[in-house]
Structure 1
Amino acid sequence: MTGHRNAKACATLTLCVASGALLYSSGPLRAQAQQVRVAAAADLKFAMEELGKAFENKTGTKIEVSYGSSGNFFSQLQNGAPFDLFFSADVAYPKKLEAQGFVEPGTLREYALGRIAIWMPNDSSVDLAKEGWNALLDLRVQKIALANPELAPYGRAAASALQKAGIYRQVRAKLVYGENISQAAQFVQSGNAQAGIIALSLAFSPGMKDGKMWEIPSEMHPRIEQGAALLKNAKNRSAALAFLNFVKSASGVKILEQHGFSAPATD
């Protein structure tokens, strides 16, 4: 009788251990299924944080974001960087990836129009609101921060605006370049530059919203059409596509607009 009870206990223990092993092994798979990996342009940092939180609250899916220049991400994704989604500050990059076979056909979306502004610290003695473009010619402004035009759409837009304003040659020696728009904003925020031409979305951010800002008219630079797409090597395809659609939804557009973006034309 004792032997029978021991055998039964042993069988129960074996079943429990097997069940535990199954639960343990499936745990990481479930965690992976609840995570979407996003490569995002640096101008999206604060908007994407809010978008990610809203989506996680709604679905339970966590959005893991890496920020950088769209140009750098473009090169990384061509070399198989492990992301599910690419949110570019320039729709041209995901279009090129789509043409090269790195994007899931039919998933490319234009999700926002970017805007740019001149930004100065609040303690600057330059009257930015009054001077506008002329503030950059002031002798007290020795360095002007931009994103690298070769890597970042916002840098290209800033350089184009300076040329259209007719002051590019006059300020060229003052220009200092960040690898992306976030780094350019850090240059001026830290005092390493006295002014910067940055994304309006960053000028609206918690650490910069108390500074001086002058929005550059949109007709002064090419449209900053921002695009996103699902990548061919995405691991969590359904959740990634759901997040992409959420960003394009009324709730997502509202969050983007609150962070200084304009809504693109309706698809």
Structure 2
Amino acid sequence: MRRLYLVVILAIIVIGLAYAIYLFLGARQLGMEQKVIIVDAAPIAKPLFDNVIPFFENQTGIKVQVSYEASGVIFSKLREGVPLDVVVFASQDWGLKALNQGLVYPEPTTGVGYQIVLLYIRSTVPYNITCIDDLANYPIRVGIANPDVAPAGLEALKIINQSSNADTIRGKIVVANDIAQLVTWYKLGSVDAAFIWNNFMGQLKNYTKNIVYPWKCGYNTSIYYTPAYVSKTSKNIEAAKQFVVFLNSDYVKNVAKRLGFFASLDEARRFMESASS
């Protein structure tokens, strides 16, 4: 009888320990799941994020699941209530639109950097293209990102429309879904010239014959800012805030500068002035 009693007590202890371990592992797993954030960013951020996200993950234990889409597509997902933790737009216009519609939190916010659209001419192009007007003179394919959702594409159209040959140039346009697809097309030779952000210069230098700076030809050229926000659909607000604050760190700023982002509006303006001389 005593032996049976001991067996029952031992069984209860084993079951209790097993249950405690189950609860511990379950809580740990839940905690791990809570440390995953979903980031939806404009493709302009990809070179930077490829460099800095592993560092963030190692330092914080927070896993970052990132996808890249045009700013207008990200905005539409916010309006539809798609669960996103952090969003990064390629222009302040889209960011302010999301902020004004209550789709993102006003704080914390930061910017990845400033950038300018340039005209890249592929090394395979046999013609002497030194200004925007020259695009009308040759049988070439001119790539732009979708202007309805991609700020670089809208800026490209604004630049092209200033040309006296705008109608002819527009007839040569090939439209990509976003900058990521346009960069791929450019590398593959699917387009001969493309309007792409300045921070892709390093990535595209081996494919490029020359770069046209639109303002040097007398074309009004805008400087764009890439803001990051915590989404109102976030299910991990504190972790999302931590990532946005990280993007404002000196570490990220130094990497961004190395990759071609301008740290300030003045720096972008100084670049434009120096390129004009």
Report deviation, 1:56. Answer: 1.4
Once residues 31 and 24 of structure 1 are traced to their aligned partners in structure 2, the CA distance between those partners, rounded to angstroms, is 10
Q: Which amino acid aligns with 1:75?
A: S
Mapped pair 1:39 → 2:40: yes
Once residues 58 and 135 of structure 2 are traced to their aligned partners in structure 1, the CA distance between those partners, rounded to angstroms, is 43
Mapped pair 1:216 → 2:207: no
Which residue number corresponds to residue 189 of structure 2?
191
| Aligned residues of 1:111 and 1:264 also touching (Cα < 8 A) | no
Any residues of structure 2 matched to 1:1-267 within 5 Å, and which? 1-126=2-127, 131-133=130-132, 136-141=135-140, 143-205=141-203, 208-212=204-208, 213-214=210-211, 216=213, 220-265=220-265
Once residues 132 and 189 of structure 1 are traced to their aligned partners in structure 2, the CA distance between those partners, rounded to angstroms, is 21
| Aligned residues of 2:109 and 2:244 also touching (Cα < 8 A) | no
Q: Structure 1: state its 5+ residue gaps.
A: none
CA offset digits 1:43-90 (Å, max 9, x no partner): 211211212122112222222111100001101101111111110001
Report deviation, 1:21. Answer: 1.9
CA offset digits 1:133-161 (Å, max 9, x no partner): 366345252x1110011111011111222
Q: How many residues align?
A: 261
Once residues 128 and 12 of structure 2 are traced to their aligned partners in structure 1, the CA distance between those partners, rounded to angstroms, is 81
Q: Structure 2: state its 5+ residue gaps.
A: 267-277
CA offset digits 1:176-200 (Å, max 9, x no partner): 1111111122222222211111122
Once residues 221 and 92 of structure 1 are traced to their aligned partners in structure 2, the CA distance between those partners, rounded to angstroms, is 16
Which residue number corresponds to residue 271 of structure 2?
none
Aligned-partner SS, 2:107: coil
In structure 2, do the counterparts of structure 1 residues 134 and 94 end up closer, same or farther at CA, with 3 Å as the change threshold? closer
- Identity percentage over the alignment? 23
Aligned-partner SS, 1:115: strand
Aligned-partner SS, 2:39: strand
Aligned-partner SS, 1:21: helix
| Aligned residues of 2:143 and 2:175 also touching (Cα < 8 A) | yes
| Aligned residues of 1:120 and 1:188 also touching (Cα < 8 A) | no
Q: Which amino acid aligns with 1:174?
A: K
Q: Which amino acid aligns with 1:145?
A: G
CA offset digits 1:90-111 (Å, max 9, x no partner): 1122222222222223333333
Aligned-partner SS, 1:112: strand
Aligned-partner SS, 2:161: helix
CA offset digits 1:24-60 (Å, max 9, x no partner): 4224322223222111001211211212122112222
Once residues 245 and 56 of structure 1 are traced to their aligned partners in structure 2, the CA distance between those partners, rounded to angstroms, is 14
Q: Which moved more, 1:175-184 or 1:220-229?
A: 220-229
CA offset digits 1:122-142 (Å, max 9, x no partner): 3443456xx34366345252x
Once residues 258 and 64 of structure 2 are traced to their aligned partners in structure 1, the CA distance between those partners, rounded to angstroms, is 20
TM-score by length of 2: 0.84
| Aligned residues of 1:159 and 1:168 also touching (Cα < 8 A) | no
Once residues 22 and 111 of structure 1 are traced to their aligned partners in structure 2, the CA distance between those partners, rounded to angstroms, is 41
In structure 2, do the counterparts of structure 1 residues 111 and 47 end up closer, same or farther at CA, with 3 Å as the change threshold? closer
